[in-house]
Structure 1
Amino acid sequence: MIKVIALLLLLQNAASGEKYYLEFDNFLYPGVSNFPEFAMITVLDGYLQAYYDENVKHINEDWLKELIKENTKEWESTVQESLAYKNTLRELTKNFNTPSNQSEGKDIIQQITVCEWDEDTNYTFGHIKFGNNGEDFITIDTKTETWFAVNPKAKVITETWNAEEDSYGIVKNFFQNECQPLLKKFVKYGKSFLNTKVLPSVFLLQKSPSSPVTCQSTGFFPDKGIMFWRKDGEEIHEGVEHGDLLPNDDGSFQMSVYLEALKIPPEDWGRYECVFQLSGVQNYVVTKLDQDSIRSNNPKNEGLLTTTSIAVIATMGCVIVIIIVALSSTAFKKRNVTHSIERSSTPSSETASL
């Protein structure tokens, strides 16, 4: 379960304004050790809300627990239907298996179902796609109401699906009568959670005088933040390297940005600042490049957190993530979502299944 949850954290997306989306991910892991044969996760605006398999049930947020408490029978019914979907998904994707894996039963299938809702305009949209062993396989074209083979291997399968009577009608019914109502209910209960803004703690790290200076931020929420170095108030790119956005155990996030300070004359250090911006928050976190405030493993700063410590932790986390992605093969190409914020101005379960 922990591995699947960690994987989901990698697949987070960003929401914008009053637009929301609810995502259901169904997984088949036949023959994969230490993974359940079938698992499903529920994501609201990029944040994990629930994980279920046949042995484990995990609810991530208090607001969802409250929703379940007030809608217990409806939720339990949805859970049972969703778990029973394993057999449907297995039958639906039985021809996904590649010849080399048919005897071993080790193909990994993922189905991603997403419905979106614009609260201001009441516009709704739905999307479904399938992945096979880490590759995009099949998606649905809602304009033509047909299935489309992203991978040439899936062409015969989509031809069969499109030939079936009312194939799209089943999908449309799910979006309108199950996914969209559930999304609106989730937003009703979870809106305060979605509107939560928490600024990070920011500090400077340096392994040695010749090492880059790391500007480390941690504890911010949501994940819609950016960091950059600037000189005399202008963002710079030369000598700057950006680290990855990583999740913390408490649901918050961390990130870092590095500066090649060795090339900067000591008298110019005061002209440089590390800036953190969180979307929707007017106040920025600004940290000046100052030798006295840098935490390092030099004798004068003995006992303080070092860049090495952060690097080891980050490296371990990345290794785990790489193993998860390689094992689950579910990191197939999702829709591109940017976490960028305009820098030129201040930013004024279970699931029911098809």
Structure 2
Amino acid sequence: MIKVITLLLLLQNAASGEKYYLESNRFLRPGVPNFPEYAVMIVLQGFLATYYDENVMHVKQDWMKEYVKENTKEWESSVQACLAYKDLLRDQTKNFNTQSNQSEGKEIIQQIFGCDWDEETNNTFGYIKFGNNGEDFMTLDTKTWTWIAANPKAEVIAEEWNANKAFYEIAKYSLQNKCLPLLKVFLRYGKSFLSRKVLPSVFLLQKSPSSPVTCHATGFFPNKAMMFWRKDGEEIHEGVEHGDLLPNDDGSFQMSVHLEVLAIPPEDWGRYECAFELSGMKNDVITKLDQDSIRSNNPKTEGLFMTISIAVIATMGCVIVIIIVALSFTAFKKRNVTNISDTDRSSTPSSETASL
């Protein structure tokens, strides 16, 4: 489950220039089989930094491990505070189920507690969102410090929370005095990881001779990249289909772009190329459309197999002919030897005749 959540988080922005964000995702899910009742995920720029519940803790990134090692007491105190928040979260959301027609204690609550920081302008922005059973439920407008119902089922609760100043005063204090300072601390440890540039490995793939040729790039970072087909140096759109940007397990990304090649004469293939551009890198990765470079499930190996098969069959045929000739010659020789022996026996007097 953690792996699935991590992949979903990676689909968000990776390193976004001078703007950064930190999120604390808290899940309250009583009664869900094979899941802890309460869990917390800390996310920096879409990358899962750590996950923990009341039984386990996973520190995912190397920079996060370094932070924990150098700030052990502060980190342990923060974790205990987050785990203790379970009771408050349960109490705050106890009426969510009455508005969503769920049995009491069976709702799944998600709270997203986050903040943004623009390093260049020093502008900050905080937000708190609640989800209920997979649906957006309620958000905090930090400009007016009022709760907004994101779902008609939350309107009554939003009115109740707006009438109680304690709900947004606590939220305001936490955003300004906890989230933003922690974001800046995490950036000191993780910024080099977020700002790295990694070019991809690029492959040409084709399922069959009639299929489109896929230009596939994988292992690049960040996700601010473009890939397209060009003809004579100019980007083309006809016969081109773009695939989705997808995350890899190691935090890098992959993407593909497909080109229909059936209508392209073989002599014109050299005019086409796949171009990959990574934000912040001057040089593009260029891959020429070349039949010999294509990896396929049904490529020239099929012809090679046929050639080898024909050669093997021909060789076996020759061997069989030689064996047949040899056997025939052997049989003929035996037959001649037999005939000669019979002739000799008929021309040579028997012992009885000789004695007479």
The residue correspondences of 1:99-248 to structure 2 (distance < 5 A) are: 100-102=101-103, 105-248=105-248
8 Å contact 1:197–1:222 — kept in the other structure? Answer: yes
Post-superposition CA distance 1:51-110 (Å, at most 9, x none):
11122211111111111111111100000111112222222222222554315x443221
Aligned partner of 1:250 in structure 2 is 250
Which runs of structure 1 show a deviation greater than 4 angstroms over 4 or more consecutive aligned residues? Answer: none
SS of the residue corresponding to residue 262 of structure 2 reads helix
CA distance in structure 2 between the partners assigned to 1:232 and 1:114 by the alignment: 47
Which deviates further from its counterpart, 27-36 or 8-17?
8-17
Q: Is the 8 A contact 1:25 1:42 kept in 2?
A: yes
Shift of 1:122: 1.6
What SS does structure 1 have at the residue aligned with 2:173?
Answer: helix
SS class of match (2:165): coil
Does the 8 A contact of 1:136 with 1:151 survive in 2?
yes
DSSP-derived class of the 2:95 partner: helix
- Deviation, structure 1 residue 210: 0.6
Q: Distance in 2 between matches of 1:108 and 1:147?
A: 20
Give the structure with the higher percent helix.
2
Task: Judge conservation of contact 2:100–2:153 (CA < 8 Å) in 1.
Answer: no
| SS of 1:263 mapped into structure 2 | coil
Give CA-to-partner distance per residue, 1:166-202, whole Å, 9 cap, x none: 4322111111110011011011111111111111100
Q: Which of 1 and 2 has greater Rg?
A: 2
CA, structure 1 residues 75+145, in 2 after alignment: closer, same or farther (shift >3 Å)? same
Structure-2 change in CA distance of 1:8 and 1:197 (3 Å): same
CA distance in 1, matches of 2:134, 2:235: 37
Q: Which letter does structure 1 place at the counterpart of 2:65?
A: K
User: Do 2:241 and 2:258's aligned partners in 1 also have CA atoms closer than 8 Å?
Assistant: yes
SS in 2 for 1:223: coil
Aligned to 2:90: 90
CA distance in 2, matches of 1:93, 1:118: 32
Q: Distance in 2 between matches of 1:114 and 1:75?
A: 18
Q: Output the CA distance in 1 between the equivalents of 2:269 and 2:42.
A: 47
> 2:274 touches 2:287 (CA, 8 Å); kept in 1?
yes
Q: Percent identity?
A: 73
User: How many aligned residue pairs are there?
Assistant: 301
3-state SS of 2:79 partner: helix
List per-residue Cα deviations over 1:227-275 (Å, max 9, x = no partner).
2222232322222222222222322221211111223222322222212
State how 1:66-81 maps to structure 2 within 5 Å.
Answer: 66-81=66-81
In structure 2, relative to structure 1, the CA distance for the partners of 1:293 and 1:150 (3 Å cut) is: same
Query: Which stretch shifts more, 259-268 or 153-162?
Result: 259-268
Corresponding residue SS for 1:261: coil
CA RMSD for the aligned pairs? Answer: 1.9
* Distance in structure 2 (CA, Å) of the matches to 1:159 and 1:77: 34
SS in 1 for 2:300: helix
Letter in 2 for 1:196: R
Structure 2: gaps (5+ residues) = 303-356
Would the aligned equivalents of 1:206 and 1:213 in 2 still touch at CA under 8 Å?
yes
Deviations 1:19-43 (A, max 9, x none): 2111111112223223222211111
Worse-superposed segment, 29-38 or 147-156: 29-38
Q: Which moved more, 1:262-271 or 1:15-24?
A: 262-271
Query: How many Å separate the matches in 2 of 1:27 and 1:275?
Result: 42
Q: CA deviation at 1:11?
A: 4.7
Q: Which has the higher contact order (CA 8 A, sep 6+)?
A: 1
1:299 shift after superposition = 4.9
- Alpha-carbon distance in structure 2 between the residues aligned to 1:11 and 1:267: 40
Shift of 1:128: 1.3
For 1:72 and 1:25, the matched residues in 2 are separated by 21
Distance (whole Å) between structure 2 residues aligned to residue 266 and residue 8 of structure 1: 41
Q: Distance in 2 between matches of 1:3 and 1:36?
A: 16
Contact 1:242 1:258 in 2 (8 A): yes
Contact 1:9 1:247 in 2 (8 A): no
Q: Secondary structure of 1:75's match?
A: helix
Compared with structure 1, are the counterparts of its residues 79 and 274 closer, same or farther at alpha carbon in structure 2 (3 Å cutoff)?
same
Q: Is the 8 A contact 2:15 2:195 kept in 1?
A: no
Distance (whole Å) between structure 2 residues aligned to residue 8 and residue 219 of structure 1: 17
Using a 3 Å threshold, how does the CA distance of structure 1 residues 133 and 11 change in structure 2: closer, same or farther? farther
Letter in 1 for 2:47: Y
How far apart are 1:225 and its partner, in Å?
A: 2.1
What is the rounded CA distance, in whole Å, between the counterparts of 2:164 and 2:100 in structure 1?
25
8 Å contact from structure 2 (residues 231, 273) kept in 1: yes
Contact 1:241-1:258 within 8 A present in 2 as well: yes
The match for 1:265 is 265
- Cα distance, 1:212 vs. partner? 1.1
TM-score normalised by L of structure 1:
0.80
